[in-house]
Structures are given as structure tokens and as C-alpha cells.
């Protein structure tokens, strides 16, 4: 099966996207894969599969490869004598800005290119942690208590210490700090504000039980991965998460009760339905006093959370067969004709 992996992007998570793409090249070896790299200047390059290695990008060698443009339904490779079109389904693997904020989704929708990934509305509500909280309120999904701060406002935090501070629009634990007392607050806020003018403040729950589950919809049924209990120190920091983006070995299923497993799956389905169709997402949950709380939505998880699926290739094939079809709009200019007829023109 043909599939094109789109990766890179102008984002703090640019390098992580490259790592994910290289990992998926190995995991989807039974696919006929093409690779399109988006550099920080938003130029698209067709990357030879043999050159899918970190040095190609760190050295700038990719700039010697073919550039691509977009037209209706395809990426185009133009030469002096030919125009090759790539009409394969795209797997959006751009982490962070561009890929998860809705930019690429809007571009692919505009050019009617089929793709695996969150649509614009899903991107908006999952990329910005503030909007994820509001989505929870709208869908009656329980989440961790929170407050929102802005760099241009003075506002006291009312949540008791210790707290965790996160940039609102960034993943991979970049800019995240645990603040144990007020003396550490200013430094943590300065760190977070380097990446975003808005930050989310949450209580830091010590020794909290955390579980990850990924999934997608195919044939109108939610298909779940195994449920993982990630191993961590105080929290999943950047280095730990960075290594996760290159994970390809399956992990062990969490040893939990059937009742808790069902609660996690039910909450995941509630998050996913009528929002994330066409994408494979991972949700990270906390369990506090036997209550499931949504922590974060990963609309484009590292290496597509391949390690959580017993057969990742089959999962992608299944998802491809159930991608949403865009609604076509017919324009017949009846309104303009009626106006012209009324005016006798």
C-alpha cells in the first residue's frame, strides 16, 4: 500500500518529527513509502528513502533534493520536461506548530489531499491546552484542575503548591516545570513564557497513576491500542519523551482491572467521537481516587504511538479505509442568474 509521510515543520518539535519519521520508515516497511520534508521556511522536499537519516537534515543535504509544490489533489515534482504528481494518502507526522495547530490540515483540505491526521477543529482543541480544558467542559469529561496565566497580566495563583506549569501551545514537555514553592515560581514562569504568552497551571499530583491509550475510528467503531502505564520519575521530561519518539518495541499492557480499563476506553471514545475522525491519537489519563481525569490529548503522538499496537501496520491500513470524505459543494450560479434576469441583463 502507498503512503506518504509528511514531517518536519517550523516548530520547536521539528527534530522530534524527523526522529518519528525515521522510526515509522522501519515500522511500516511493508508499505510503499514516500517522504516529504517541510523545512523551517515551509519549502517541501521529496526525500530519497535511502537518505532518511538524521545527518541528511542536520547537514542541510536535503536542500539538494527535489522541491515540491501543491496543486489540487497532489504534491508536484516539476522538472524542465515533466511534472510528476504524488497523489498518495498523506500521514501528517509534523509535531507541534504547523502539524498539530491546524495549519497543515487546512492546507491539505484546501487542496483536497487525503490525509491521516487531526482536522482543523480537532487540531485547535488539542494543540492549545486551554482549549482542551474547554473541550472537556463541553463534553462533560473530567480533567485536572487548572488556572490560566498570561504574560501581560498580573494574576495570583490560587492552586496550592506544588504546581506544574506548562506552555499552552507546546508538547514534548518543553518549557514545563514543577514548582514546589513560591520562591521557584518566577523562574518557572520565565521559562514557560519563552515559548508561549499563555501558560496552564495545574496541581502537581505526587505518585499519581498515569495511563496512556491510543486509538482511531474505523467502520464507525473505536479501535483501541493496549493501555500503557508509563514508567517515569517526577514527570515525563523532555529527554524521556524524546526517546519515546523513537520507540518501536511493543510495551507491556498495564496490569489494571477490567473496570478501570473500561473507564479509560469509554473516556477516550468520548474525547474522540465527533472531533478526531481521520486521525490516530493518544490520550494521557490520570487516575485519582478511582476517577479518570484527562491530562492531555496527543493529536499526532510520537512515532504515531506504534508501540501501543499489536499490529501497527494493520491499524494504519484500517484507518486509511475509513478516512472521512470531504463534502463536495456544487455551485450553479442560480442566484446571480436570477439577479441578472430580474434586471433584464
265 and 138, same structural domain?
yes
Output the pTM of the full model. Answer: 0.89
Q: Say how far apart CA 319 and CA 228 lie, in whole Å.
A: 21
211 and 294, same structural domain?
yes
What pLDDT does 242 receive?
47
154 and 15, same structural domain?
no
**Cβ(202)–Cβ(160) below 8 Å:** no
For residues 163-181, average pLDDT:
87
* In a domain? residue 328: no
For residues 327-331, average pLDDT:
84
The CATH number assigned to the domain holding 78 equals 3.40.50.20
* In a domain? residue 338: no
The greatest distance separating any two alpha carbons of the chain, rounded to the nearest whole angstrom, comes to 78
Nearest Cα to Cα of residue 72 among 85, 59, 90, 56: 85
108 and 25, same structural domain?
yes
256 and 310, same structural domain?
yes
Residue 328 pLDDT grade (very low, low, confident, very high; cuts 50, 70, 90): confident
Q: In terms of DSSP H, where are the helices of 117-165?
A: 120-127, 129-139
Q: Say how far apart CA 241 and CA 247 lie, in whole Å.
A: 10
The helix (H) or strand (E) run that includes residue 60 is none
DSSP 54: H
Instruction: Give the structural domain span for 286.
Output: 123-142+207-320
177-179 and 163-167 strand pairing: antiparallel
Residue 236 pLDDT grade (very low, low, confident, very high; cuts 50, 70, 90): very low
298 and 228, same structural domain?
yes
| 162 preceded by a cis bond (ω within 30 of 0) | yes
What pLDDT does 141 receive?
97
Q: Say how far apart CA 174 and CA 166 lie, in whole Å.
A: 8
226 and 97, same structural domain?
no
pLDDT tens digits, residue range 16-66?
999 999 999 999 999 999 999 999 999 999 999 999 999 999 999 999 999
Lowest mean pLDDT among 88-102, 211-225, 325-339: 325-339
The CATH number assigned to the domain holding 153 equals 3.30.1490.20
What residues contact residue 101 under an 8 Å CB cut-off, 6+ apart? 123, 124, 127, 128, 169
* In a domain? residue 334: no
**Torsion 45-12-228-231 (CA) sign:** positive
* In a domain? residue 80: yes
What is the domain count for the chain? 3
69 and 51, same structural domain?
yes
In the structure grid, which three cell numbers stand for residue 11, read together? 516548530
For residues 238-244, average pLDDT:
50
For residues 257-285, average pLDDT:
97
156 and 130, same structural domain?
no
In the structure grid, which three cell numbers stand for residue 143, read together? 480533567
* In a domain? residue 345: no
Asked whether the predicted pLDDT for residue 163 surpasses 90, the reply is: yes
256 and 129, same structural domain?
yes
For residues 319-339, average pLDDT:
88
316 compared with 207, residue with greater pLDDT: 316
Cell 472537556 locates to 136
With vertex at residue 24, the alpha carbon angle to CA 21 and CA 26, rounded to the nearest 5 degrees, is 120
What pLDDT does 274 receive?
95
DSSP 182: G
Q: Say how far apart CA 131 and CA 237 lie, in whole Å.
A: 23
74 and 88, same structural domain?
yes
In the structure grid, which three cell numbers stand for residue 90, read together? 498523506
**Cβ(192)–Cβ(199) below 8 Å:** yes
Amino acid at each position: 500500500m502507498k503512503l506518504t509521510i509528511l514531517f518536519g515543520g517550523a516548530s520547536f518539535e521539528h527534530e522530534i518529527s524527523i526522529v518519528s519519521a525515521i522510526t515509522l520508515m522501519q515500522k511500516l516497511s511493508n508499505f510503499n513509502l514516500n517522504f516529504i520534508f517541510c523545512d523551517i521556511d515551509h519549502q517541501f522536499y521529496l526525500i530519497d528513502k535511502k537518505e532518511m537519516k538524521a545527518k541528511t537534515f542536520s547537514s542541510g543535504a536535503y536542500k539538494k533534493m527535489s522541491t515540491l509544490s501543491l496543486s489540487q489533489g497532489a504534491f508536484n515534482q516539476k522538472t524542465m520536461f515533466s511534472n510528476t504528481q504524488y497523489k498518495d494518502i498523506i500521514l501528517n507526522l509534523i509535531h507541534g506548530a504547523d502539524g498539530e495547530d491546524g495549519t497543515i490540515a487546512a492546507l491539505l483540505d484546501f487542496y483536497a489531499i487525503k490525509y491521516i491526521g487531526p482536522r482543523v477543529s480537532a487540531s485547535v482543541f488539542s494543540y492549545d491546552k486551554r482549549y482542551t480544558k474547554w473541550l472537556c467542559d463541553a463534553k462533560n469529561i473530567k480533567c485536572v484542575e487548572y488556572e490560566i496565566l498570561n504574560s501581560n497580566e498580573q494574576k495570583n495563583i490560587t492552586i496550592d503548591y506544588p504546581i506544574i506549569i506548562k506552555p499552552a501551545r507546546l508538547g514534548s514537555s518543553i518549557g514545563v516545570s514543577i514548582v514546589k514553592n513560591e520562591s521557584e515560581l518566577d523562574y518557572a514562569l520565565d521559562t514557560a513564557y519563552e515559548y508561549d504568552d499563555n501558560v496552564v497551571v495545574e496541581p502537581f499530583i505526587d505518585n499519581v497513576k498515569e495511563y496512556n491509550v491510543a486509538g482511531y475510528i474505523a467502520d464507525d467503531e473505536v479501535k483501541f491500542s493496549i493501555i500503557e502505564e508509563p514508567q517515569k520519575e517526577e514527570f515525563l521530561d523532555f529527554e524521556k519523551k524524546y526517546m519515546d519518539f523513537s520507540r518501536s518495541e511493543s510495551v507491556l499492557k498495564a496490569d489494571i482491572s477490567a473496570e478501570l480499563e473500561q473507564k479509560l476506553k469509554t473516556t477516550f471514545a468520548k474525547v474522540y467521537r465527533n472531533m478526531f475522525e481521520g486521525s490516530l491519537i493518544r490520550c494521557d489519563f490520570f487516575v485519582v481516587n478511582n476517577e479518570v481525569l484527562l491530562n492531555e490529548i496527543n493529536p499526532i503522538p510520537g512515532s504515531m504511538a506504534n508501540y501501543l499496537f499489536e499490529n501497527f501496520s494493520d491499524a494504519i491500513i484500517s484507518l486509511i479505509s475509513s478516512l472521512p470524505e470531504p463534502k463536495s459543494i456544487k455551485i450553479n450560479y442560480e442566484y446571480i442568474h436570477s439577479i441578472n434576469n430580474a434586471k433584464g441583463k
